[in-house]
């Protein structure tokens, strides 16, 4: 996957990703229309399919609302790269199949507007604008299995049908 980077800082919380005033719906496209609104009010208008969010520490802290990764995914974001993720966001992203990668080096050395390519299976991130390559932390096998099956629901279906 390949896209333009949108850069955010530390502690981007779930209220910034999708404010509660829009949580009276579960429709992914409606949520996507307001994604990142309280961090950057123009974001939803700028983002194109395949673009990548790059953030610093503790991305997705705050509430457990799955509406946050759902909105990001529905907006066409192909991957979120961060220095670190808050735990519920991390879990939710894996469960719904939003690609995420943790790499402090990549997070610090990618700027707004850089072209970035990502090889998810290998955890390889390349900043095509600067030519620098970064390696993300690998996922434990169990989480890979959830992701490879297309998310937790598919994984549970598979487990139930196997038993």
Closest separation in Å from C-beta 76 to another protein: 20
Cβ(39)–Cβ(10) below 8 Å: no
Residue count (the chain): 163
Closest separation in Å from C-beta 131 to another protein: 31
Looking only at residues 87 through 126 of this chain, which bind another protein when binding is defined by CB under 8 A? 87-88, 91-92, 95-96
Selected from 36, 54, 65, 106, the binder of another protein by CB under 8 A is: 65
Q: List the structure tokens of 125.
A: 């991130």
Nearer of residues 21 and 48 to another protein, judged by Cβ: 21
Q: Does 15 bind another protein (CB under 8 A)?
A: yes
Closest separation in Å from C-beta 78 to another protein: 20
Write the DSSP symbol of residue 18: S
| Tally of helices (H runs) and strands (E runs) in the chain | 8, 7
> HEC profile for 80-142?
EEECCECHHHHHHHHHHCCCEEECHHHHHCCCCCCEEEEECCCCEEEECCCCEEEECCCCCHH
Write the DSSP symbol of residue 113: T
Which among 34, 33, 29 is positioned nearest to 15, based on CA atoms?
34
Looking only at residues 21 through 60 of this chain, which bind another protein when binding is defined by CB under 8 A? 21, 23-26, 38-39, 41, 57-58
Closest separation in Å from C-beta 5 to another protein: 22
- Binding region for another protein (CB under 8 A): 11, 13, 15-16, 19-21, 23-26, 38-39, 41, 57-58, 61-67, 69-70, 84, 86-88, 91-92, 95-96, 140, 142, 151-153, 156-157, 159-160
């Amino acid at each position: 996957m390949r896209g333009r980077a949108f850069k955010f800082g530390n502690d981007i919380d779930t209220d910034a990703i999708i404010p509660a005033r829009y949580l009276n719906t579960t429709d992914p496209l409606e949520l996507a229309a307001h994604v990142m609104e309280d961090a950057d009010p123009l974001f939803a208008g700028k983002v194109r399919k395949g673009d990548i969010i790059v953030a610093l520490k503790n991305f997705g802290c705050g509430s457990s609302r799955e509406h946050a990764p759902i909105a990001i995914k529905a907006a066409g974001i192909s991957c979120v790269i961060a220095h670190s993720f808050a735990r519920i966001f991390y879990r939710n992203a894996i469960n719904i199949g939003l690609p995420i990668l943790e790499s402090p080096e990549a997070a610090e050395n990618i700027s707004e507007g850089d072209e970035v390519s990502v090889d998810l299976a290998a955890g390889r991130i390349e900043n095509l604008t600067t030519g620098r390559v970064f390696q993300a932390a690998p996922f434990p096998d169990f989480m890979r299995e959830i992701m490879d099956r297309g998310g937790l629901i598919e994984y549970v279906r598979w487990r139930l049908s196997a038993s």
